[in-house]
Homo-oligomer: A and B are copies of this chain.
Amino acid sequence: MVSGVKIAIVGAGSVGFTRKLIADIVSVPELQDVEFALTDVSARNLELVRRIIERVIEVNKLAAKVTATTDRRRAFEGARYVISCVRVGGLEAYADDIRIPLEYGVDQCVGDTICAGGLLYGQRNVPVILDFCRDIREVAATDALFLNYANPMAINTWAALDYGKVRTLGLCHGVQHGAEQIADALGAERHSDLDYICAGINHQTWFVDLRLKGRRIGREELLAAFERHPVFSKQEKVRIDVLRRFGVYSTESNGHLSEYLPWYRKRPDEIARWIDMSDWIHGETGGYLRHVTETRNWFETDYPKFLEEAERPLDPTKRSSEHASHILEALETGRVYRGHFNVKNAGIIANLPQDAIVEAPGFVDRFGVNMVANIVLPQACAATCDVSINVQRMATRAAVEGDVELLKLAVLHDPLVGAVCSPEEVWQMVDEMLVAQAAWLPQYAHEIPAARQRLSEGKVKTRDWAGAARREVRSVETLRAQAAARRENTEV
């Protein structure tokens, strides 16, 4: 039993994720008596979550402790691990990340990575990330590890490492989900029959080597598998097209991938060709915004159900594939865990810039995260990643320095924005976003009046529309009715 480990979770108010993280961690026998220190800006959510975790601990008779406080520094005090899953600006700012770019023709599906929305999201995040890092440096345990789950992954991790000066690891489950889908497409008996190397940057990572029970899977076989798959052939049209042309499959879901590339969402009348509206979000305009809005509403009314769920004993075999618990296990026990992580590209991907934040395979053991050296990406994958990396580098520095011009240049160089907008449109769009989100952009405070002035004189014509493929946010009642219907269908 490893003792004395304190794990702080910031943004802990998001109940589902916090509960999963903690359940995963206490599934490790050696980690059952850790201390979880939850913190969030919302005292109310925090209390709701704390109560659930408290119940989980009691029901499962764990030695773990849980505390909750809105005082972040107290939560971080002495912590060996700090896990962040914050969303700065909440749904209010997020809605603007989707709405304003649409006025300028930029039709995003998720908008949390690059593209106009993701880049502004980064501007909101970085000041907060730097605050976290200062607190970690000052009050957390020596050499504490910062595990960042928050998007935009590359920008947040870049800021934490280069400017926050904290040991940081960026974590995402995109690689695992992509691999499961490939395994399904290939008809694997078990997901674990598929071995793979992924490399690139977060949300643009590429399956550069695939083995099914040890047999190498080439482009033609994979393409055929996806094309004949009844569901994926409909829902993953962009990914399949990219596979066809690049030769490798991307980790990122269809709609998300489509917004990092200049080719699939620039003509409104063609977007529908590449997405699927039947289910979940495979490319719909503002699809993820709709999803998280529905989820939040659902949570508000369905809290009792979470509490009820907490009464059921944990099943260690249900431990999720989220990296955090596996990393902690590896670091604390020495059992090797292989995953794909977001880190500074120091010797890892030979044909991406060495200062970039890359996502690549690593083996975690008690010595830390041992990233694999000297991976070479196919040239087209590297070319596509390079565009985003340049955008991220500019956006990160702009966010730290509050440099409006550099931010505009970052947005201008974004692949989808660049394919859709003219420079003057970009300049006005960014001004509009800065003004709308000023409350979360302290580093730009001195620039807001001038931006407001420029806006009032703005000559660029904007467009009033909801995007090429917009769905309504469903009410809780509708969701409940649909869930009930699904259950009935399944049971029959």
Contacts and interface: CB of A to CB of B under 8 A. Distances in A.
Given A262-B418, A350-B347, A209 B367 contact: yes
A387 interface: yes
24 contacts: A195-B334, A195-B366, A197-B367, A245-B427, A262-B262, A263-B421, A263-B422, A263-B423, A266-B419, A338-B365, A346-B374, A347-B350, A347-B374, A348-B373, A363-B363, A363-B372, A371-B372, A373-B374, A379-B394, A379-B397, A379-B409, A383-B390, A386-B390, A415-B418
Contacts of A380: 394, 406, 409, 412-413
* This protein's copies in its complex: 4
Given A393-B379, A405-B247, A427-B245, A372 B370 contact: yes
Contact of A382 (B333, B382, B390, B412): B390
A261 B353 CA distance: 22
Interface string A369-405: 0111110000110111011001101100100000001
Interface string A330-372: 0011101010000000111011010000000101011100111
A90 interface: no
CB-CB nearest 9 A-B residue pairs = A347-B347, A383-B390, A373-B373, A346-B374, A347-B373, A419-B419, A370-B372, A380-B409, A262-B418
Nearest to A213: B334
Given A346-B374, A348-B373, 4 more contacts: A263-B423, A338-B363, A372-B372, A384-B413
A241 B412 CA distance: 13
Interface in A231-266: 241, 245-247, 262-264, 266
Interface in A260-277: 262-264, 266-267, 270
Contacts of A245: 405, 408-409, 412, 423, 427
Q: Specify which of A197, A247, A390 lies most central, judged by the most chain B CB atoms within 10 Å of its CB.
A: A390
Contacts of A421: 263
Nearest to A332: B214
A312 interface: no
Interface of A: 195, 197, 209, 211, 214, 241, 245-247, 262-264, 266-267, 270, 332-334, 336, 338, 346-348, 350-351, 353, 361, 363, 365-367, 370-374, 379-380, 382-384, 386-387, 390-391, 393-394, 397, 405-406, 408-409, 412-413, 415, 418-419, 421-423, 427
A391 B252 CA distance: 23
A391 B397 contact: no
Contacts of A348: 347, 373-374
A418 B263 contact: yes
Given A195-B366, A262-B262, A367-B197, A214 B334 contact: yes
Contacts of A333: 214
A361 B418 CA distance: 30
A428 to B, nearest CB: 13
A350 B353 CA distance: 11
A263 B418 CA distance: 6
A5 to B, nearest CB: 12
A335 to B, nearest CB: 11
Nearest to A390: B383
A350 to B, nearest CB: 7
Contacts of A394: 379-380, 383
Contacts of A350: 346-347
A365 B418 CA distance: 39
Given A346-B374, A371-B373, A373-B346, A413 B363 contact: no
A336 B363 contact: yes
Given A336-B336, A422-B270, A379 B373 contact: no
A366 B211 contact: yes
Nearest to A270: B422
Given A195-B334, A370-B361, A372-B372, A406 B423 contact: no
Nearest to A408: B245
Contacts of A365: 195, 338
A412 B348 CA distance: 27
Nearest to A360: B373
A390 B397 contact: no
A327 to B, nearest CB: 15
Nearest to A344: B374
Contacts of A405: 245, 247
